[in-house]
Amino acid sequence: MAGLSVVVLGGTGFLGRRIGAACAADGARVHLVSRSAPAVPAPAAGPGVSAVGLDLVTASPREIAAVLAAAGADVVVNAAGRAWQADEAQMAAGNAELVERVLAALAALPGPPVRLVQLGTVHEYGAGAPDAATCEEHEPVPVTPYGRTKLQGTRAVLRAREQGVDGVVLRLANVIGAGVPEGSLFGRVAAHLGAAARADARGEKAAELRLPALRAARDLVDARDATAAVLAAITAPAADVAGQVINVGRGTAVPMRELIHRMITLSGLELPVAEAAEGPGSRTDVAWQCLDVSRARRLLGWRPLRSLDDSLRELLASVLPPEHPLRGTPLGITADASAEEGKRS
């Protein structure tokens, strides 16, 4: 990646900042673009990294193209979007309309095509395949506003190939690791455990952890593994990946109840937990998601390397006080469930 100019849209977010740091460590010149980028101190961005302030939700194709041209972009990674604490109109603006404007900006640039790596989501599939891991040919039927708007962005990238845009979509499983947004289930639980650990250190009783009904099983991928997949997509030959959708996950469905309780066990905290009952019509998402990641192995030479405990430990270490030790791995506990087990559950 030495010498490449990589522009990361949403570059100060959960995945964007990781991707930028990894690209810079691999020798690229990195430009982090986001509304909050001017607030990022230059030393914090790291060597070879610059921060560019631009409100991507309102920026015109001309403004986006000007940033890409000034950076001499060879690659654009779109890690921008809206998932948490947003209504469907806001999600459409951040997940679909922004992609259309980025594609228009790329089409207007002179010179050879700029590689676009678009970060999609497993939620584009909806229920996926009930009897097997879901492959990229599965017809998406998203059931949430997030999934629907992200699918619009994916389809825009695939259509743009006809205009010569060198675009690839990485359809990510649920990403977990330090810095995961507090709007997510994992971020919310992590923040609660951090507060509980600080209360415990003061000799106070931890507040009850209130959880939604945990009936689902989800495919998860470590943030570091997801970042590695992005780097592989950046440098893969266009003949292999242009116009492709590529699943990025662990290829297993993980029961959320077991995973959250595993997270609590690793934290070493004793605290009351209350899980809400699931009433009629209370489910807003699908119960089972598991990705077939064979295309990523074949086209990107990528596979997940981190265990779920690796991911949970990184997340917990980022929120617990430094003096609070994490527990070891008890025998017989695993958060993984194979596709076959998930079908039986």
Cα-based angle 277, 330, 191 (whole degrees, multiple of 5): 50
CB contact set of 291 (below 8 Å; sequence gap of 6+)? 122, 128, 133, 134, 171, 173, 219, 247, 248, 249, 250, 251
Burial of 258 (0-12, 13-18, 19+ CB in 10 A): middle
Out of 125, 146, 288, 302, pick the active-site residue.
146
The reply to whether 146 belongs to the active site is yes
Nearest to 302 by CA among 221, 223, 228: 228
Tell me the CA distances in angstroms from 154 to 62, 78, 118, 123, 176, one per residue in order. 21, 11, 7, 12, 22
What's the rounded Cα separation, in Å, for the pair 166 and 116?
A: 6
> In angstroms, rounded to a whole number, what is the distance separating the alpha carbons of residues 125 and 129?
9
- Helix or strand holding residue 17 (H, E): helix 16-25
Strands 115-121 and 217-218, sheet pairing: unpaired
The set of residues, in sequence order, having a beta carbon less than 8 Å from that of 244 and lying 6+ positions away, is: 136, 168, 169, 295, 299
Give residue for tokens 């997510």: 184
Catalytic residue numbers read: 146
